[in-house]
Amino acid sequence: MDGKDAAPLLDLLRRMKKELHAPVADSYHMIVAYLYQFLLLLNRHYAQLFNQPFTLPLNNYAYQYKQLLEKNICTTNRVADYATMMGISRVSLNKAVMREFGLSAVHLLKQRLLQEVKNDLLFSGLSVKEIAFRLHFSEPNHLMRFFKQMTGQTISGFLSEMEQGN
């Protein structure tokens, strides 16, 4: 990769580093956006370098689902609701997601919800109770149980680890 192609990638890396060193409330979202752009540019370069076809996926439902997750994760936590938004069955959605990403639609939803919980814990200043309410968990202990199931550690353990910089 020559300097001309590398310059935008290096700029994105600098921006991500800046967000990591001086985080604010929306830093997580900025880092995700920068990383996404970085990976897209890298993928384009790779496709050109190795003469790979740059085609759209055969099934757009999986990508539409990911977009809906990004927009609605704070308000909608059931795969069936996303399937309804898309006008397809839950089974069809799950098959599309499994075919495209190798994960179930539920697993993808839980991963995205976990990202949102971690982001809130690290950057929002909200209490566990407030985060549980914001993300529509019926009780704070349901959020804590979900977090432990997904990560294998408690919320307080996660926060302690982050404070120590591990």
pLDDT in tens, 33-71: 999 999 999 988 888 888 776 665 556 899 999 999 999
Q: Of 55, 73, 99, at which residue does a domain stop?
A: 55
Q: Are residues 98 and 63 in the same domain?
A: yes
Crossing angle of helices 105-119 and 27-49, rounded to 10°: 130
24, with CB counted inside 10 A (0-12, 13-18, 19+), is exposed
Q: For residue 90, what pLDDT is reported? A: 97
Q: Are residues 35 and 73 in the same domain?
A: no
Q: Are residues 29 and 78 in the same domain?
A: no
Q: Of 15, 35, 55, at which residue does a domain stop?
A: 55
Q: Are residues 47 and 94 in the same domain?
A: no
Distance of CA 36 to the CA centre of its chain: 10
Distance of CA 24 to the CA centre of its chain: 18
The pTM of this model reads 0.69
Q: What is the pLDDT of residues 83-108, one digit of tens each?
A: 999 999 999 999 999 988 899 999 99
Tell me 76's DSSP state. -
State the Cα–Cα distance between residues 66 and 57, nearest whole angstrom: 14
Q: Count up the domains in the chain and report the number.
A: 2
